[in-house]
Structure 1
């Protein structure tokens, strides 16, 4: 059995036994699958490091329910070793996730989660300090994922939460010189909220698209107005 197949077999075993269950011993698995204990131990340690398994000494090895922070570690490791190590490179993934979150939130239309989204918008509208404004901005996007009601989206949003926060921070650094920055942000988020409250998935996705498009354009404006920069014709 190849090492890749061995990992697949272990993952199938984790699915089969369910969470918080003891799996057979290393010796038993090696005999059952006809593999070397060295290769098996390596894969078991890999899954332990990722949070899918937990070794309890003489008590054996148990399956775990992976938490978003467990996945976050693996994602950060993979992203930083790839071309997606920056929040800018991650942006297209973020747009896709948030667009779907907006669609589902408008479709589901649960009053309480949408009220949390509105609370973040109200905080943005009341903020007089830039840091308060961007903190409310981040709360808005967190609340939006919760309002989607989709367990997978919520899990992924929590797993990549540091990249989403980094994206907001980088946007703040690029846009802070624009006098219209605050009003643009408030208006864009208010439009998304209105679409959610109207129960229109199409309008919610369009508002989210406009949100990212306007912010990208504002960021480009900052770049071309920096000293030594020039706008292209």
Structure 2
């Protein structure tokens, strides 16, 4: 194992064991390096690597701290990786969406409070009668992000949000080329909303599956 990898594992073990909790400041560099049996250069490299994935927060002139370790923060690094997708992998992102989003929608149907459901309704109502493709896609993204957040599971919500980027261009493409795309999107969004509002998780899951699978199937044929 490379020395830097060993240093990363040592810091990770301190966090996992509870010796370092979210918000804690790491010991001084010289003290920590001596304790772990590492060179200060190796320790610095480990700290840089952990800072890049939002595990550590390096504050100039103050010290190095463990971050909140909240899922949205840690999964932010996934969004960076996802941005490097190729066009020929976009179908795979839709396949993952088809697995995750129906589950999140079913959870939202049991978890969302009245105020959040009303906010979801306002997203639907905010779409103009004859929206541009860009307005339709933006509304679609906001609608699904609100549902994912309503699942009550921060990890699931963050994963779904990180998958939005690679599928946005396909959504725009569909809006421009598929006849009736606007009508289908509106109809399915309303059905999903009504299932959530009436707290029917099975129906909400079914409509979410139909919605995502429909875009996936269109893209499969288009490609």
TM-score for both structures, normalised by structure 1: 0.79
Aligned-pair CA distance for 1:40:
2.0
Alignment of 1:18-37 (within 5 A): 18-37=21-40
Match of 1:108 in 2: 111
Contact 1:87 1:166 in 2 (8 A): yes
Alignment of 1:43-54 (within 5 A): 43-54=46-57
Contact 1:124 1:137 in 2 (8 A): no
Higher mean C-alpha deviation, range 137-146 or range 50-59? 50-59
Change in CA separation of 1:138 and 1:81 when aligned onto 2, cut-off 3 Å: closer
Q: Which has the higher contact order (CA 8 A, sep 6+)?
A: 2
Higher mean C-alpha deviation, range 27-36 or range 105-114? 27-36
Q: Which among 96, 117, 120 is matched to residue 117 of structure 1?
A: 120
Contact 1:145 1:154 in 2 (8 A): yes
Contact 2:54 2:73 in 1 (8 A): no
Contact 1:87 1:164 in 2 (8 A): no
Change in CA separation of 1:185 and 1:32 when aligned onto 2, cut-off 3 Å: same
Structure 2 unaligned spans of 5+: none
Q: Which among 133, 137, 141 is matched to residue 138 of structure 1?
A: 141
TM-score for both structures, normalised by structure 2: 0.82
Contact 1:175 1:219 in 2 (8 A): no
Aligned-pair CA distance for 1:174:
3.2
Match of 2:213 in 1: 213
Deviations 1:154-208 (A, max 9, x none): 33344x1xx4044133222134222211111111111211211221211111111
Please give the alpha-carbon distance, in whole angstroms, between the structure 2 residues aligned to 1:55 and 1:175: 44
Q: Partner of 1:65: helix, strand, or coil?
A: coil
Match of 2:193 in 1: 193
Q: Partner of 2:38: helix, strand, or coil?
A: coil
Match of 1:168 in 2: 168
Alignment of 1:215-230 (within 5 A): 215-220=215-220, 223=222
| Number of residue pairs aligned between Structure 1 and Structure 2 | 219
